[in-house]
Structures are given as structure tokens and as C-alpha cells.
Amino acid sequence: QQQVKQSPQSLIVQKGGISIINCAYENTAFDYFPWYQQFPGKGPALLIAIRPDVSEKKEGRFTISFNKSAKQFSLHIMDSQPGDSATYFCAASMKSGSNYKLTFGKGTLLTVNP
Amino acid sequence: DGGITQSPKYLFRKEGQNVTLSCEQNLNHDAMYWYRQDPGQGLRLIYYSQIVNDFQKGDIAEGYSVSREKKESFPLTVTSAQKNPTAFYLCASSIGKGRGRNTGELFFGEGSRLTVL
């Protein structure tokens, strides 16, 4: 059972364009929604995150839009740059006992052409 | 610099051999995790540990074993029972329970790529 569905699997965008990656979740117990960025041969790193009490969070060129009723959230990368080329993972977190458990989407490979 | 160190970065193994991947952190984090990454599969949780001398199975624990004898260290052994061990393995840590505003944010190492010949 896949609890976090991510799309598209891959995305090609021209430099300066907008990249949009979508995620949907099923479990309403999730209360924290991070996005991770992974460059080839490296481990993922936290990019931006949101809690369900807000509908949008912006950090520089990166914005998360969150729709609680639809159980969907998305990452928007404005003015996409070749350096943004990476794999992006959405995730959802909830408390599991005394710990937090993260469930990841399957990832989106973003390529930004110069 | 605080962080997570995984070694070796690349490892080759013959079928039937056990191998151990090292993970060390100096972030003073309580919780540590092992994930497996395969193309198009995302990150799948193998084992996690919230405290020294305690660990729990994740979603794909079969064929793997771990130990947590020290707070800083969480080695993963890929045993011969793992049917398809070729993958990229990621170790991560998080601050742990009862410490600050724990969101479960994970800090990852740079990974170990295991290839079975």
C-alpha cells in the first residue's frame, strides 16, 4: 500500500520555467510534509517543509502548496535553473509511538535544460 | 563539522557473503535509520533505532541485521539471505523524542552503493 503517491516520475523543464511536482496522501494522521532534494551519488537533504495548518510556504524560488481537503501537496520551483536538476522526494510524517515515521514518495527526476 | 559518515562508499560482494555497512554520526541524535534506494522505488525503510540497544524492523527488514551498541554508530549487515542486495543504502538520523520540536526531520549520509557480483 503506497501511502504517498508522487508524480510525475520524471520532468524536463527549460531554464527559467516553472517545475511542478505533485504528491497525494491517504492517511489524515500525517502532520508534517517535507520535500527532500537529492543530487546524483549523494544523500537526500531537506529542501522545504510544511505543516497542514497553512496552505502555502515559500522559501526563495521554492514554494509548497498544500490542500488539506484534497489531501494533496505540491512543490513549485520558480525560475528553474540547471543547478536544480536533481531527484525530488515528497514525504509525509506522523507520530508512531514516541517517534516520527516518514513515508516517502517514489521520487521525481527533474532535468532543467540550459 | 557535524554530520553522518557512511563507509565504504562503494562495495562489491560475491553471492553468499555477508557485508557490513558502517554509519557514524556526531550530531548527538538519538534516532538512526537505514534506508534502501532502488531506481523508481523511492526510499524504503530497513531498520530504525530510537535509542541505544534498541531497534525495530522497518518495511523491508528481511535479510538484514543491525546493532546499536553506541549512540553514534548504527551498522547494517546485509546477509546472504537478502535475495537482491544490489542497491544504494542510506543511513539517516533524527533528533529523537523529547528534544525540541521534533518533526522527524532526517539528516542523511552520502550513501553506500553495494553491488553483488
Closest chain A CA to residue B56:
A99
What are the chain B neighbours of A89 within 8 Å (beta carbons)? 42-43
Best B25, B43, B46 member to test A by mutation, with max A CBs in 10 Å, is B43
**Contact criterion met (CB < 8 Å) for A43 and B111:** yes
Q: What is the pLDDT of residue A83?
A: 97
Q: What is the pLDDT of residue B103?
A: 65
Is the alpha carbon torsion for A30, B96, B44, A77 positive or negative? positive
| C-alpha triplet B95, A102, B26: angle, nearest 5° | 25
The answer to whether A46 contacts chain B (CB < 8 Å) is yes
Residue A13 vs residue A102, higher pLDDT: A13
Taking the CA atoms of residue A74, residue A76, residue A82 and residue A86 in that order, the dihedral angle to the nearest 10 degrees is: -20
Residue whose grid cell is 524492523: B57
**Contact criterion met (CB < 8 Å) for A89 and B42:** yes
The answer to whether A29 contacts chain B (CB < 8 Å) is no
Which whole number is the average pLDDT over B2-11?
A: 93
From residue B15, give the alpha-carbon distance in Å to each of B19, B46, B84, B85: 10, 20, 10, 9
The answer to whether B25 contacts chain A (CB < 8 Å) is no
Res B6 pLDDT > 80: yes
pLDDT, tens digit, 9 for 90 and up, residues A60-104: 999 999 999 999 999 999 999 999 999 999 999 887 666 677 889
Question: What is the grid cell recorded at A2?
Answer: 503506497
Q: What is the pLDDT of residue A1?
A: 55
The answer to whether A78 contacts chain B (CB < 8 Å) is no
Question: What is the grid cell recorded at B42?
Answer: 523511492
The answer to whether A20 contacts chain B (CB < 8 Å) is no
**Contact criterion met (CB < 8 Å) for B40 and A46:** no
Q: How confident is the model at residue A35 (pLDDT cuts 50, 70, 90)?
A: very high
Chain B nearest C-alpha distance from A91 (Å): 10
Res B99 pLDDT > 70: no
Q: What is the pLDDT of residue A90?
A: 96
Residue B3 vs residue B98, higher pLDDT: B3
Res B105 pLDDT > 90: no
Residue B104 vs residue A43, higher pLDDT: A43
